[in-house]
Structure 1
Amino acid sequence: MSEKKEPSVWEGFKAFLMRGNVVDLAVAVVIGAAFTNIVNSVVKGIINPLVGAVGTKNLDVYSTCLSSSCQGTHGIQLMWGSVLGATLSFVITAAVVYFLMVLPMSKYLARVEARRKAKEGTHEVIEVTELEVLKEIRDALVAQRGSGQDGR
């Protein structure tokens, strides 16, 4: 009897790392980290000054006091400015990813798919036309043979 050798832990780990989806995920994480810098720059350079025109550039200072007195770090404060800043960062990130990456890529893929379907459609038309021509040639040859045999 031959025993099947189980792959070693190292071989299994190597196979796991060589899967395409792991590499794609690693690339996505690296691109996402680089993209975070762009979003943070947009928030700091554009959004915060626009908010600063109304109030302050730093959204973290916006808060509401729930206790009777809030002085310094004493009292219960709701830091809604931090939540607003994080929400704006998320919305900006999602909008930039959608409008600059997802939307153009989906339009490109739709165009490629339409071209592929159009190309398949022309192949089908050509194949049908070729088939019809071959049938006509066959019928003409059969008719020629038939008339040639009758004339002997």
Structure 2
Amino acid sequence: MRGNVMDLAVAVVVGAAFTAVVNAIVENIFDPLIGILFNAESLNKAFIVEAAGAQFKFGAVIAAVITFLIVAAVVYFVFVFPMNKLREKAEARRNAGVVDEDAPVTELDLLTEIRDLLQKEQQK
């Protein structure tokens, strides 16, 4: 139990630090680049629609979506994809030519054994 709690704590700390890095990249690189296209300082100040005294900041929503997509892509390609490949390789090595002795006996196994016994009887 303690190992799982420590793993979770490390994941939360690394996740918080990772989020700060991604937010900095989006706010300082992608927002200004997209803001240039729309003559705004950043994406947060683009696509502002005012109606009935309220401001709808569509640019800020787009910035949040971009941030999410970048985080999701990095998490997938840096963590999930390599771990799945490592797991597949480990399972392939573990299962290569190894018969699980604890596996239940199937009908095919029984029929094969009967065939082999009959062949031995006929050879005698």
Same fold (TM over 0.5): yes
Which structure has the larger Rg? 1
The corresponding residue for 2:90 is 112
3-state SS in 2 of match to 1:120: coil
Aligned-partner Cα distance in 1 for 2:34–2:27: 10
The corresponding residue for 1:86 is 64
Aligned partners of 2:31 and 2:44 also within 8 Å: no
Aligned-partner Cα distance in 2 for 1:107–1:50: 35
Matched letter for residue 16 of structure 2: A
Corresponding residue to 1:58 among 39, 42, 56: 42
Aligned-partner Cα distance in 2 for 1:60–1:95: 22
Residue 119 of structure 1 and its aligned partner are, at CA, apart by: 5.2
Aligned-partner Cα distance in 1 for 2:9–2:72: 20
Query: For each residue in 1:59-82, what CA deviation from the matched residue of structure 2 results, as whole angstroms up to 9, or x when unmatched?
Result: 221311122xxxxxxx11111111
The corresponding residue for 1:101 is 79
The corresponding residue for 1:132 is none
- The answer on 1:24 being equivalent to 2:2 is no
The corresponding residue for 2:115 is none
Q: How does 1:123-142 map to 2 (within 5 A)?
A: none
Residue 47 of structure 1 and its aligned partner are, at CA, apart by: 1.5
TM-score (normalised: structure 1): 0.57
Length, aligned pairs only: 97
3-state SS in 1 of match to 2:70: helix
Residue 114 of structure 1 and its aligned partner are, at CA, apart by: 0.7
- The answer on 1:43 being equivalent to 2:21 is no
The corresponding residue for 2:108 is none
Question: Would you identify which runs of 4 or more consecutive aligned residues in structure 1 move more than 6 Å?
Answer: none
Residue 103 of structure 1 and its aligned partner are, at CA, apart by: 0.4
Aligned partners of 1:51 and 1:57 also within 8 Å: no
Identity %: 48
TM-score (normalised: structure 2): 0.68
Matched letter for residue 99 of structure 1: F
Task: Mark the runs of 5 or more structure 1 residues left unpaired by the alignment.
Answer: 1-17, 68-74, 122-152
Corresponding residue to 2:54 among 71, 76, 81: 76
